[in-house]
Structure formats: C-alpha cells, structure tokens
Amino acid sequence: MKTNTEGLVLREYISGENNRFVTVLTKELGIVDCYAKGSKSLKGGKSSATQLLSYSALSLFHGRSNYIIDEAESIASFFNVAKDYDRYCVSQYLCELAIQMVMEDTPAEKYLELLLNCLHVLTNGTRSPLTVKLVYEIRMMVLSGVMPNIVYCSGCGCYEADTMYFDYCDNKLICSACTDGSGKLARLSRGALFALRYISLSEPKKIFSFRVSEESLVQLSYCAESFVIAHNGRECYSLKSCRHLRNI
Ligand SMILES: [Zn+2]
C-alpha cells in the first residue's frame, strides 16, 4: 500500500555506498523507520530530501518489515543549524526526544508542527538554544497528555509567591510555606512560574512570545528537563551535549 505524507528526517544510518535507513516523523503515520533508496534510483531525483533534518513530501510503500521511500521531494532543510555547535546539539536532542515520545503508526501532525516550529526558531536564531529546548520539552509533555499542574499551590491554594516549587515527579505545585522539602522539587521564581504557565497554555503559534530573566530561564530549563525525564523514565543520549547550556 502506498502512502503519501510529509515528514521530517530525525535520524539516518548509512548502509553501503548508496543506501540509508532513516527514522522519520510523519504527519499521518507518526514515527516510521524507512529504507531510503540510493540517489540514483530515487524517483524525484533529490536524495537530499531523505537526509537528516530534511522536511519532505514522501511517497512510502510498506514492505515486509518496514517502509520504503519511493519518492521524495524536499520542502525545507534545517541542516544549516549545524553551523552552530550549540544549536546543532539541541536539534539532535529535539529529534531524539520525538523518537522517544511519539508513537508509531499514529497521526502526529501536532508533534510535527511543534518540531518544525522549534527547528525554525533554532535555525533563524531569534531565541537562544536553551529557550527552544525548554519550550519543546514543556509542549511535548502537553501533547503527550501530561499538562503540568501549575495553577495553584497543592497545599494552600495560593496562586503566586516570590518562590514556588514544582514537584516534577508528582506533577504538583507547592509554595515555600507549604513545602517540607520532600519530593523532587524544581525551584521557580515568579517570572519562571508565569513563563511555565504561558508556555503550557498558549496557542501553538505563540509559544515563543514570552520574556524571562536569564536566572528564571535556567530554573525553567531544569524544571522542564526534569519533568520530561521523570515522565519518560530515562534520559536521551543527546541530552549530555546540551547540559552546558544552563551555565549562563
Ligand atoms: Zn502553599
């Protein structure tokens, strides 16, 4: 059966001189592993359309064990992000987290939209790599059905304070008056908490329309990263190359 879809290449393995296996985040099928024919045999003539960080219109056949890319036409490429080491590291983490969190054979239009938006911002440089990373982490959790419980303190119900804490394992907010120090806590300034609420609840096109201090950004990054790891139960390999970004 043939499927026409659009997808972003998240990972590639080179096999022999002219063949590649790629993992693609597609609109209709979620995460799929595909065999990409060599450049000479690929219809459409553009093998660059199946390279890492390419966003392409794809024609897929389902073979015995995986999909085969029959035709590919590039729509956009984000590989320019590799010109900057920090931005490249974050791009690899975004892709790996998508592989970890998006299901196979399930429509994934909203995940794809989020990843394309983040790669676009990462490439054009309008926000820092650390900002892109934490926004992506928070929105990936929201898309996965795990909305952070950040409206009120779970103890006294207060809405805001100079310092509050997010328990990223139990998914609850607690103020400094109510906490006894137990739980896995990420400290949040007033600005960091407001930004966390904004990023979690805003419409997809406005997720980057916020400003916070660098100190709040670092708090927010630790909070978002810890929340993702607690939910997934493991870290992405590529996360190690991103940790230095919090040393602002
Ligand atoms: Zn409280």
Q: What is the pLDDT of residues 218-227, one digit of tens each?
A: 999 999 999 9
Q: Per CATH, is 81-246 categorized as 1.20.1440.120?
A: yes
| Average model confidence (pLDDT) across the chain | 93
Spacing, Cα 179 to ligand 1 middle (Å):
7
CATH topology of domain 2-77: OB fold (Dihydrolipoamide Acetyltransferase, E2P) (2.40.50)
Q: What is the pLDDT of residues 69-107, one digit of tens each?
A: 989 999 999 999 999 999 999 999 999 999 999 998 889
User: Within 102-213, where are the H helices?
Assistant: 109-124, 129-143, 190-201
Label residue 36 by pLDDT band (50, 70, 90).
Answer: confident
**Residue 44: pLDDT above 60?**
no
User: Distance (Å, rounded) from C-alpha 4 to C-alpha 58?
Assistant: 6
* Residue 179, SS3 per DSSP: coil
Spacing, Cα 184 to ligand 1 middle (Å):
16
Q: Cβ(208)–Cβ(126) under 8 Å? A: yes
Q: What is the pLDDT of residues 8-17, one digit of tens each?
A: 999 998 877 7
> In the chain, what are the domain boundaries?
2-77, 81-246
User: Distance (Å, rounded) from C-alpha 37 to C-alpha 34?
Assistant: 9
Spacing, Cα 232 to ligand 1 middle (Å):
28
Spacing, Cα 164 to ligand 1 middle (Å):
8
